[in-house]
Structure 1
Amino acid sequence: MPQTGILPDHQIQTLWDEGAISAAIVPVRDQIQPASADLRLGLRAYRLRASFLPGPERTVADCLEGSDLVMHTLDLSEGAVLETGCVYLVPLQEALALPGDISAAMNPKSSTGRLDVFTRVICDRSAAFDQAPAGYEGPLYVEICPRTFSILVRPGDRLVQVRFRSGERAPTRDLTVSVDLQTADGPVGYRARRFSGVVDLAGVGAHDPANYWEPIHAPGGRLVLDPGEFYILASREAVEIPMTEAAEMAPIAPEIGEFRAHYAGFFDPGFGLAEAGGTGGRAVLEVRGRDVPFLIEHGQPVARLVFEPMTDQPSRPYGAAGSHYQAQKLKLAKHFR
């Protein structure tokens, strides 16, 4: 295996086969993606008073046991609603026993970010979210905080994904992403409606978008982001991820404006490629206004794509087995018709 790079699907499968990834329930179909793997919710959720990190001396279980962090426990086996504005911690079905040269990074799945569900994965003895150091051995937990829509979840639901890296992180290039606020037909984006109904994560295509989203337009290519509101917008650039690279959405300098421009950030090899059914897919931007109203304009830089090499090409490109987001333009989460 090469010294540096992101592991493709067949090497992730090898991690499963050799016990570096384990779960009581075998992986489901399509759980392993071209350069990542989905992680599944376990059987219970802990309603927390506050988010936390265990730090280098404690496990997550140490922090929960006998503390006042846990307000109550929810059984997810028959489905349970995670409510807006509340913080939950859910043990994941997968655990890790990584080799000494393999680390892991986690991120919300695309659909999770587009639902404005804030997630972060926690490892034992960790001082940072969404990271498992090389050689990590132990369980995984996901912190879940629905920001706009309450969500109905069950064991096995997949809100987050993991990407494995051999060696140190070695970005090869950046691509600045700007916002598209000019369109000849239809809205430039959507603003989430507050106090909407519950979103059932199992209900793909089952929700009327009119009950959850307000289409928005940007006369003259300008849009004012209201504080605390959540928007779905699209990039002006068409994005293509070659089979030899993977990419991750990252913020640009925070001093450029009063908004956050992404939640979910992994882009797998083959995204947007014509040979994989894409035509240069747009990056969908999950945008939240911050403290003051802020004017953004067409073509304004809002984020960047950071590319890393693959250790090998994946056996199939993103979208080859079907995808809700290949060749996308402006698009809501897969749960909406």
Structure 2
Amino acid sequence: MQKIKVLVVEDSYVFRELLVQNLNKDPAIQVVATAGDPYEARDAIVTYKPDVMTLDIELPRMSGIEFLRKLMPQYPMPVIVISALSDKVFDALGAGAVDFVAKPVVSDKQQIEEFVSKELPDKIKIAVKAHVSRVKHKNVVPRQPVQNNATKKNLIIAIGASTGGTEAIAAVLQEFGTDIPGVVVVQHMPAGFTEMFAGRLNDKCNVKVKEAKTGDVVLPGQVLIAPGGDAHMEIVRVNDTYQVICKRGAKVNGHCPSVDVLFQSVAKVARENAIGIILTGMGGDGAKGLLEMKNAGAKTIGQDESTCVVYGMPKVAYQLGAVEYQEQLPNIARRTYQILRNM
């Protein structure tokens, strides 16, 4: 088996060596080079041609984000950003990074061990399969207002995504107007980052976006993002409204929050009054839940392979027969509005 060639870009010598030593323990990974700043990284890319690069955001001589913006047009490659709790990570994802991992607390030995032995290696193995040279597709049919249907309290839209999902979710939500039914979203993301993600989306979108908390009512023109961490998000029916509950639980399909958990609750509670959307991501989380939604009468949409960073979750859902409409990313909002006009 050919090993994944990795370039580690990190200015801290101690942390850099920690990454190198532990990544090389994985039989599927080989660190071929390291760099302490973007200029060293550029030379290493030309010399060693790595399959994946890990990149710290805070670097000397040039920030990791600026480096990404200069790098990706010339040398498109899968990049995993390693970041402390900062919304700069979303700038990095917007500049072309495939995914990110939260930098562990150095004093927390258990967190360090989890990070170097599982979390980062797993991300690298996913990243090497990512499509980083995605063609930008234009929305060929503009969306049309939903008029009265979308504001019915019994309609709901549920969205799930993983790798590449931050940009995909933003692309969909930015096309939604305030006439859209309430939206609930699970994006695989560490604790702390989901609140920042929601805040950035709220600034970019016409709809209101916030991190969800138990008791939040699902309202038209509002998006609730499941909080990252150790809680799953579900919807429940309270009188004539939907509300979310966020409760602690074990990982499902390796994730918490899990898309399946959300979709299964929507299938049970909203049934035919829902639309399920599954976007880019590795693995199969959400596929079974989307099938349950479809079987309960909901309409379902899956992102197509050509516009996915990783065609994993939508592929599994499609193969299960859970996807009614397969769409390129820029057309998902249009399709959603088209469905809503007939609901």
Asked if these proteins are the same fold (TM beyond 0.5), I'd say: no
Tell me the TM-score normalized by structure 2. Answer: 0.24
Tell me the TM-score normalized by structure 1. Answer: 0.25
Larger RCO (CA within 8 A; separation ≥ 6): 1
| Greater fraction helix | 2
| Greater fraction strand | 1
